[in-house]
């Protein structure tokens, strides 16, 4: 288990439960700050070693069928590749990578070793999403016309001070982090739009163009609010809205518009429902949130044992990384909201932008970006051509430019 604090704390809870049931043999934990993890005493009591790095664990001749990676975003690829090189399958939390060149390196390593890599977008492992994707693939609803999703989750000052990479573009070593709502807390919902349009179980649709608007209210490097439009196959419009600097929580929700049906979630009920043009229900798929979020762990074990195929690996997660890189390219430097628009909670724990939540929800309803709605603070981003985009930042590496 790599990373026993943060989200890794909850992974570890599940592993401990299965350890006591005798279903797994927990070989080691990797935690650079063991004093901050409540699970460290348990590991030591069970004589399970805790190492500061994954390299150190492998140098001690420890081997495992599965390495679970729940570390900061920019460690996902190097740690996954190291695990593969040591003969271990990998379950890596989302996102698969911070840049598409790193994602490609991981795909290359996976193909070279022949081992499995699963990426922990839990909605992709949910029965409701899998059933919906199959019906989309069958053409049950006709061609996709427009798909949009919104998630507004307030976060406070503690959220951005909980570690040394939250809200950062790069870490102290100069590695790309690109932490944002699109790449972290709400990454699931942006990924879901792309994943549902994938032609295979473990694939997603690649955005051909991206235009974004991104802003920040908190004093951070990257943005805490984003609205973006993407085109897939030059005809399907994808819209994504997310923010941490709003007053009230709303979502996640989505609406998928097809030629012959509309599919919604979170707008009226916590169930994915498809309806025909007359409003008659075609299917009720249920709530993807109702299943255990760690179904991804149990499914990963089944994949390793060849009991089922992978729901989401690097190929299925790659389009999300491409989308995030495109959003960052569209808005290389997020503008700050005017101080006159910012309000603080009575306790001083968080802030929000006045009427921002209402503006984003209104844009969601009208399928537009804030600048298109005439919002005073809105700033249009650059139009990004993603069809030949192979390297972040800039689209192509310097070597590629020289070769041309």
pTM for the structure as a whole: 0.96
Q: How far is CA 156 from CA 151, 160, 269, in A?
A: 16, 7, 28
Let me know: does 69 contact 83? Beta carbons within 8 Å: yes
Write down the CATH superfamily of domain 123-292+314-403: Dihydrodipicolinate Reductase; domain 2 (3.30.360.10)
Per-domain boundaries in the chain: 8-122, 123-292+314-403
Among the listed residues 74, 71, 76, the one whose alpha carbon sits nearest the alpha carbon of residue 3: 71
| Fold (topology level) of 8-122 | Rossmann fold (3.40.50)
pLDDT in tens, the chain (404 residues): 999 999 999 999 999 999 999 989 999 999 999 999 999 999 999 999 999 999 999 999 889 999 999 999 999 999 999 999 999 999 999 999 999 999 999 999 999 999 999 999 999 999 999 999 999 999 999 999 999 999 999 999 999 999 999 999 999 999 999 999 999 999 999 999 999 999 999 999 999 999 999 999 999 999 999 999 999 998 999 999 999 999 999 999 999 999 999 999 999 999 999 999 999 999 999 999 999 999 999 999 999 999 999 999 999 999 999 999 999 999 999 999 999 999 999 999 999 999 999 999 999 999 999 999 999 999 999 999 999 999 999 998 766 765 55
The pair phi, psi for residue 157, each rounded to 5°, is -65, -35
Examine domains 8-122 and 123-292+314-403 and report if their fold is the same: no
Q: What is the pLDDT of residue 46?
A: 96
């Amino acid at each position: 288990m790599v990373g026993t604090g943060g989200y890794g704390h909850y992974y570890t809870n599940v592993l401990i439960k299965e350890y006591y049931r005798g279903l797994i043999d927990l070989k080691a934990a990797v935690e650079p700050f063991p004093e901050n993890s409540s699970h460290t005493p348990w590991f030591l009591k069970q004589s399970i070693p805790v190492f500061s790095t994954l390299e150190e664990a492998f140098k001690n001749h420890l081997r495992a069928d599965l390495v679970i990676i729940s570390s900061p975003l920019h460690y996902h690829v190097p740690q996954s590749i190291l695990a593969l090189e040591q003969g271990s399958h990998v379950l890596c939390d989302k996102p698969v990578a911070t840049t598409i060149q790193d994602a490609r390196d991981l795909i290359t390593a996976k193909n070279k070793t022949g081992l499995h890599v699963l990426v922990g977008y839990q909605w992709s492992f949910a029965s409701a999403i899998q059933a919906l994707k199959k019906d989309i693939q069958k053409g049950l609803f006709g061609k996709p016309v427009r798909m949009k999703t919104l998630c507004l989750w307030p976060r406070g000052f503690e959220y951005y001070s909980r570690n040394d990479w939250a809200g950062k573009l790069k870490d102290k070593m100069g590695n790309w982090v690109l932490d944002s709502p699109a790449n972290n807390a709400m990454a699931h919902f942006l990924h879901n739009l792309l994943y549902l349009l994938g032609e295979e179980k473990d694939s997603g649709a690649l955005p051909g163009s991206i235009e974004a608007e991104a802003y920040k209210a908190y004093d951070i490097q990257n943005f805490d609010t984003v609205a973006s439009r993407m085109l897939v196959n030059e005809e399907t419009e994808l819209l994504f809205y997310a923010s941490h600097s709003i007053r009230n929580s709303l979502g996640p929700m989505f609406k998928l518009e097809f030629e012959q049906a509309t599919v919604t979630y979170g707008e009226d009920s916590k169930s994915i429902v498809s309806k025909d043009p007359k409003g008659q229900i075609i299917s009720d798929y249920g709530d993807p949130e109702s299943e255990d979020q760690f179904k991804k762990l149990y499914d990963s074990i089944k994949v390793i044992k060849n009991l089922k195929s992978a729901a989401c690996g690097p190929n299925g997660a790659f389009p999300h990384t491409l989308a995030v890189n495109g959003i960052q390219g569209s808005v290389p430097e997020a503008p700050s909201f005017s101080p006159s628009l910012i309000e603080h909670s009575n306790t001083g724990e968080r802030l929000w932008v006045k009427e921002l939540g209402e503006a984003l929800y209104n844009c969601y309803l009208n399928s537009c970006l804030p600048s298109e709605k005439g919002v005073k603070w809105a700033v249009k981003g650059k139009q990004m051509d993603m069809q030949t985009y192979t390297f972040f930042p800039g689209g192509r590496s310097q070597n590629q430019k020289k070769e041309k």
